[in-house]
Structure 1
Amino acid sequence: MDQQELLSLLALKKAPLIGDIMAKRLIRTFGNATGVFEQQYKDIAAIEGIGEKKAQFIRNKDGLFAKAAKELEFIEENKIKYRVYYNEDYPERLKYCVDGPIIYFEKGNINLDNPYTLSIVGTRQITSNGAAFLEKFISEIAPLQPIIISGYAYGVDILAHKMAIEHGLQTIAVMAHGLNQTYPRNHAAHNEEMLQNGGFITDFWHTDNFDRKNFLGRNRIIAGMSEATVVIESASKGGSLVTADLACGYNREVFAVPGRVNDKYAIGCNELIKQSKAHMLTKTADVPYILGWKERDVAVQKQLFVELTEDEKLIYRYLKEHKEELLDLIALNIKQPVHKVASLLMSMELKGVVKPLPGKRFQLV
């Protein structure tokens, strides 16, 4: 990218009162970020939604460019990669978020070609039940090789990252500060593994320290990059519920693990389900089934020794005899509801036992 355009993008990113939505409007109006700073103050102020107060940044462009030059120096010295919203390498789903960052920064070994992306969020005080569900969930969905995205915080976040690494999945941590820092500090012990198996992204400068007010900006990227957001546990208030709301606003799927009504960290998930903001997530197969991950371009690893439930054994014996069959006819012949059989088939698919065919037909692998 032309260095002047990069400096202009950085300067526009730091312009007071502008933000990403207004920045995109200005770039759209004047052709690029460089063009924005070539305009007269009155022409900027005349743009709908800008006005005289917000247009003040153009009068202080020298100060903005001085700061941008220092950030560019950090980017170059530390070999920080950046992605710009109008370039091809920008995450496809994030392009459709009106408030997606005009530029963000990353380091690590990140490959965004995989279409399967899941955000996993939840409480910092994860319970033993929540941890057990999360560990089982990632181990069972690992054959589909999704990218796991979270916020590197205590509790659900860090466990999601660690389990993703354990199962050979790419994992991305979205940070609420610059890439020269790690928060929480003791999570720095995981940085090297993260860099090898994914990495870190942020739209904050290296001069931006950790601040709770940055969480909303961080959470919009977590929700925006993902095909779906999974909430493991949440109290009645918390950042994971904000992320879920953002995902809903982006028309993405949300899943929530239900819990007992009196459990503190089940309240948020139960409310999401009750308000029809989230699908009830009771088993791993619910996610690929609802997301339509049946026709996939990544190989499912067939297990050498597969444990099937009694209901799954019914399906296995039926397909062994009939070779391939329609979903509805399988359900009819084993005397089970269609929705239950669909879920069982997805579970068996994840285990590498069956594979889907066109027209809702299935056969043994």
Structure 2
Amino acid sequence: MSLIHQLALTFIKNIGPVLAKSMVAYAGNAENVFLIDPSKLQKVPGIAAKTIQQLDFESALERAHEEAAFIAKNNIDVIFYTDPRYPKRLRACNDAPVLLYAQGKMDLNAQRVISVVGTRKATAYGKDLCKELIEELESYGALVVSGLAYGIDVMAHKESVKLNVPTVGVLGHGLDRLYPAAHRSIADKMLLNGGLLTEFPSGTTPDRENFPARNRIVAGMADATIVVEAGIKGGALITAEIANSYNRDVFAFPGRVNDEFSEGCNYLIRHHKAGLLTSAADLAYTLGWEKDTKKSKKPNQLMLAMDLTADERLIMDVLRQNASIAIDELTLKIGMPVSLLSMNLLNLEMQGFIRSLPGKAYCIS
């Protein structure tokens, strides 16, 4: 399928994503939309005769050639809505973009995707919540999506980069610029494990009307949207409302009743538009997630050799030879007094090397 025609589809005036996809469905592919007699497009549901008369395919194709040159020069990827790489969660939304422009290394169909949104004027409370949330999400192997705005958005991206959690910033403008410009450094780092995504072509400025459209991508891409901290008005609540319209889970951290930037979260919870969230464990429980064992931080042999006492190493040697072992049997095998053994077991458990099981048994973590 021709990239030029895919691009041109988005440059036809008065044709939004819903109609554009209907035209492709009728014609068979994007290229055929420009090849068939325009009068036949009157059979497309929802398209008016006046719209058909005003179609300007020539201008759309001309603009598409300009955009194709830009994306080739700047190593930008174009993901059409029929492409397997297109985010499947977003594709299920009726008003999903026809195509997305992408930069970076991202899996938009990761097993777990979470959107994190909030106020641009984040307080210390909100920043701490956001940091703790990303730290906890790391063990679940989730992709973190946000809007790269000031406040909670950029905090989510920065913490994700710090912990090597894949993160995608959805923009309200073209990839020929970055807004806010102050976030260029973090955006560059995101390209290594995640990246930047937008439906807007080059030359599109970050105008206010673009951001609700951007927010629908943030909401539509994810299994759930988390509102960390938000006032009663603003983009975070718009994103939450959109996520609700898509029948996606929405969660919000509660705050004190008099705090301006917890007012939006409390509103969502009070009106049953968001589930109350206190940690990523609440989210995981609702979504039926289990921790990604590949992400679990297990002690390696070097740590054991360097950090454990002789008694602790002896206990670890016995535990490695058994799937699990009761403390009484462990006492007999090692020949260590129960009081001393119990103290060593507690130390090992606190360090994360072992875990206790029902019946006073232990195993390697």
Tell me which of 277, 280, 284 is aligned to 1:284. 280
2:147 is matched with which residue? 151
**Aligned-partner Cα distance in 2 for 1:353–1:273:** 39
- Is 2:201 the partner of 1:205? yes
The Cα of 1:62 is off from its aligned counterpart by 0.8
**Aligned-partner Cα distance in 2 for 1:222–1:107:** 16
- Is 2:122 the partner of 1:129? no
1:83 is matched with which residue? 79
Tell me which of 3, 8, 14 is aligned to 1:6. 3
TM-score, normalization by structure 2: 0.80
The residue type equivalent to 1:147 in the other structure is: L
Q: Do 1:223 and 1:243's aligned partners in 2 also have CA atoms closer than 8 Å?
A: yes
**Aligned-partner Cα distance in 1 for 2:290–2:162:** 24
Structure 2 runs not aligned, ≥5 long:
304-323, 328-348, 357-362
1:114 is matched with which residue? 110
**Aligned-partner Cα distance in 1 for 2:50–2:11:** 15
The Cα of 1:194 is off from its aligned counterpart by 1.5
1:44 is matched with which residue? 41
Stretch deviating more after TM superposition (188-197 or 174-183)? 188-197
Superposition pairs of residues 1-365 of structure 1, within 5 angstroms: 2=1, 5-58=2-55, 60-294=56-290, 296=292, 298-302=294-298, 365=365
Q: In 2 relative to 1, CA 57–170 (structure 1 residues): closer, same or farther, beyond 3 Å?
A: farther
The residue type equivalent to 1:31 in the other structure is: G
Deviations 1:280-316 (A, max 9, x none): 01122111111111275744324799xxxxxxxxxxx
Q: In 2 relative to 1, CA 320–279 (structure 1 residues): closer, same or farther, beyond 3 Å?
A: farther
**Aligned-partner Cα distance in 1 for 2:94–2:79:** 16
Structure whose CA Rg is larger = 2
**Aligned-partner Cα distance in 2 for 1:96–1:295:** 26
Q: Do 1:300 and 1:352's aligned partners in 2 also have CA atoms closer than 8 Å?
A: no
Q: Do 1:44 and 1:51's aligned partners in 2 also have CA atoms closer than 8 Å?
A: no
Q: Do 1:301 and 1:352's aligned partners in 2 also have CA atoms closer than 8 Å?
A: no
**Aligned-partner Cα distance in 2 for 1:86–1:352:** 47
Q: In 2 relative to 1, CA 285–28 (structure 1 residues): closer, same or farther, beyond 3 Å?
A: same
**Aligned-partner Cα distance in 2 for 1:187–1:234:** 21
Q: In 2 relative to 1, CA 353–271 (structure 1 residues): closer, same or farther, beyond 3 Å?
A: farther
Q: Do 2:97 and 2:199's aligned partners in 1 also have CA atoms closer than 8 Å?
A: yes
The residue type equivalent to 1:164 in the other structure is: S
The Cα of 1:137 is off from its aligned counterpart by 1.4
Q: Do 1:9 and 1:33's aligned partners in 2 also have CA atoms closer than 8 Å?
A: yes
Q: Do 1:37 and 1:61's aligned partners in 2 also have CA atoms closer than 8 Å?
A: yes
**Aligned-partner Cα distance in 2 for 1:28–1:354:** 56
The Cα of 1:118 is off from its aligned counterpart by 0.8
List 4+ stretches of structure 1 deviating above 3 A.
295-299, 302-305, 319-322, 351-355
Q: How many residues align?
A: 315
Deviations 1:88-139 (A, max 9, x none): 1211211211111111110112133531111100000001111111111111
Q: Do 2:140 and 2:290's aligned partners in 1 also have CA atoms closer than 8 Å?
A: no
Q: Do 1:176 and 1:210's aligned partners in 2 also have CA atoms closer than 8 Å?
A: yes
3-state DSSP of counterpart to 2:279: coil
3-state DSSP of counterpart to 2:115: strand
Q: Do 1:144 and 1:298's aligned partners in 2 also have CA atoms closer than 8 Å?
A: no
Structure 1 runs not aligned, ≥5 long:
306-318, 323-347, 356-362
**Aligned-partner Cα distance in 2 for 1:267–1:290:** 24
**Aligned-partner Cα distance in 2 for 1:183–1:36:** 34
CA RMSD for the aligned pairs? 2.6
Stretch deviating more after TM superposition (142-151 or 35-44)? 35-44
